[in-house]
Structure 1
Amino acid sequence: MITYNYATVRNQKIFYREAGDPAAPTIVLLHGFPTSSHMFRDLIPQLEDKFHIIAPDFPGFGYSDAPSASTFTYTFDNLAAYIDELLFTTLDLTKFTIYVQDYGAPVGYRIAAAHPEAITGIIVQNGNAYAEGIGAGFDPLKTLWANRTPENEAATRTAMLSFETTRFQYTHGTKNPAAISPDSYTLDQYFLDRPGNAEIQIDLAYDYQNNLKHYPTWQAFFRNYQPPTLIVWGQNDPFFTVEGAKAYLRDIPKAELNLIDTGHFALEEESHFIAEKIRTFFAA
């Protein structure tokens, strides 16, 4: 049974989905942009008989609080700090595997590097930690990174936050775009269109460049701790490249790499394949 919960972290309400027996091995599911824990809606029921699942919404996303960008610091450091406190202090977790996708990677890898002893494994689904993993889809952001002007912010809003872009993220590179439920990108767009959300997303888009500075730290964590790592990567992703997926093998040679003929949100088409890989790879 999946439950839908709120916890208060530093005066902000953080939403999370929970399923499975708390005594079972825990997997923490960390979502990407522009979605929320909703992206795991098909995966959780396929894992809850064997694992304890926690899937939070980051501040500013989904059903978690989204305070104004003028009153809250929207950086990946801060998102990670809130999720870190949720996991270790509020939920009292001590050991878990992280599942990271897109924005979930810089959040999850900050937590992993700070608490390496807590990480029992990593599942990577189009979550980047290598310079060669940055694809052409990031080109509009690079202009913002170089010069944060009102004009470049406006261009980024157009490039990132429109309904057409949100739908593109779900359907591009899929085998059968007509089979992708519009519920996913329609719900995401609802949250993107909330008053004040554009400013939140621009702050995070601008801060994303700082994730690249952390890559050496995260790669050192991989090399030093060799966490069991399962890579399930949509190979037609315009944002994160296949080269970025293969790069993990440099630091974690025993990682299992699966390139899947789908796009950025691989779970939309391949949740059964990914669930079976997780169940097999992390079999007790």
Structure 2
Amino acid sequence: MTRRTRKRSSEITGVVMVAVHHRHAQVRGRRLFYREAGPADLPAVVLLHGFPTSSFMFRGLVPALADGYHVIAPDHLGFGLSDAPPADEFAYTFDALTDLTAALLDHLGVARYAIYVQDYGAPIGWRLAPNDPAAIREALTLDAIKWQYLTGVPDPSLVSPDTWHRRRGGPGERLPARRCACRPRRRFGGATTHPKRARTGRVMRGMRTIAPPRSSARRRGTRIARQGGRYRRSRQSPR
């Protein structure tokens, strides 16, 4: 390949390299690690990781969002590259971790932001919202949830809207409880003859306990057989 026809790899692949900064901040006497990318004047997005990972889980998402957002992904205290003081020096509660996260964002000058939460990040993010409602720009709205399911799908009509809509019942209305497909069919003396329980333990039938059925189980001239998931008793024919 000559110098004239040589092209940069970014022009061939269409991938633009994004600078992702890996930094530490001293917050309330604790050293917190965070990843940061994107211009500071763009809308901010805070990515809160879960257990047992760290902001490392967002290593691919941070540069993907950086062209349109100011992305911040911290490591919670005790996770990743942040400090991990022993439990007798720091109370590892969600309230305490929320206070540190809010202090970190204030240290970085981020006053308004959207949040993306996963696992442990959820109880931290949902505490940030009521503590400072004006700071949260966007969370999991209906449109945001719908976007997650439909973006990039070749045929959106194949995705059921039941995934982001309630099937029935209004706000605050309790939905009917689901019934188990393998619920107990009979009860004897307050116990059950549920097939799965019968295979692993003893079954109460009346006030008498019998062992799980076996192919050669016989007691007192009674044969116990399993048919169609049920247990029945039938008298042996006299010999």
TM interval, shorter chain, is: 0.5 to 0.7
Task: Identify the structure with the greater helix proportion.
Answer: 1
The answer as to 2:64 corresponding to 1:27 is no
Give every structure 1 segment of 4 or more consecutive aligned residues whose post-TM-superposition deviation is greater than 4 Å: 243-247
The equivalent position to 2:144 in structure 1, one of 217, 230, 233, is 230
Task: Identify the structure with the greater strand proportion.
Answer: 2
Q: Tell me the equivalent position of 1:105.
A: 122
Aligned length: 137
Q: How far apart are residue 245 of structure 1 and its match?
A: 7.4
Partners of 1:117 and 1:57 in 2: CA distance: 24
Partners of 1:49 and 1:22 in 2: CA distance: 11
Q: Tell me the equivalent position of 1:71.
A: 89
Deviations 1:194-237 (A, max 9, x none): xxxxxxxxxxxxxxxxxxxxxxxxxxxxxxxxx6762348xxxx
Q: How far apart are residue 52 of structure 1 and its match?
A: 0.4
Q: Tell me the equivalent position of 1:185.
A: none
Q: Percent identity?
A: 47
Equivalences for 1:149-168 in 2 at 5 Å? Answer: none
Q: Would the aligned equivalents of 2:37 and 2:62 in 1 still touch at CA under 8 Å? A: yes
Q: Would the aligned equivalents of 2:34 and 2:55 in 1 still touch at CA under 8 Å? A: yes
The equivalent position to 1:116 in structure 2, one of 129, 133, 158, is 133
Q: Would the aligned equivalents of 1:18 and 1:52 in 2 still touch at CA under 8 Å? A: yes
In structure 2, do the counterparts of structure 1 residues 244 and 67 end up closer, same or farther at CA, with 3 Å as the change threshold?
farther
Residue 63 of structure 2 aligns to a residue whose secondary structure is helix
Residue 5 of structure 1 aligns to a residue whose secondary structure is strand
Q: How far apart are residue 3 of structure 1 and its match?
A: 0.2
Q: Would the aligned equivalents of 1:122 and 1:229 in 2 still touch at CA under 8 Å? A: no
User: What TM-score results when the alignment is normalised by the length of structure 2?
Assistant: 0.53
Q: How far apart are residue 122 of structure 1 and its match?
A: 1.4
Q: Tell me the equivalent position of 2:113.
A: 96
Question: Partner amino acid for 2:38?
Answer: G
RCO higher in 1 or 2 (8 Å CA, sep ≥ 6)?
A: 1
Equivalences for 1:28-67 in 2 at 5 Å? Answer: 28-67=46-85
In structure 2, do the counterparts of structure 1 residues 111 and 41 end up closer, same or farther at CA, with 3 Å as the change threshold?
same
Deviations 1:239-278 (A, max 9, x none): xxxx99767x977xxxxxxxxxxxxxxxxxxxxxxxxxxx
Residue 144 of structure 2 aligns to a residue whose secondary structure is strand
Q: Tell me the equivalent position of 1:271.
A: none
Q: Would the aligned equivalents of 2:114 and 2:139 in 1 still touch at CA under 8 Å? A: yes
Partners of 2:49 and 2:170 in 1: CA distance: 25
Over the aligned positions, Cα root-mean-square deviation in angstroms equals: 2.4
User: Unaligned 5+ residue runs, structure 2?
Assistant: 1-18, 150-161, 172-239
User: Unaligned 5+ residue runs, structure 1?
Assistant: 124-226, 234-242, 252-284
User: What TM-score results when the alignment is normalised by the length of structure 1?
Assistant: 0.45
Q: Which has the larger radius of gyration?
A: 2
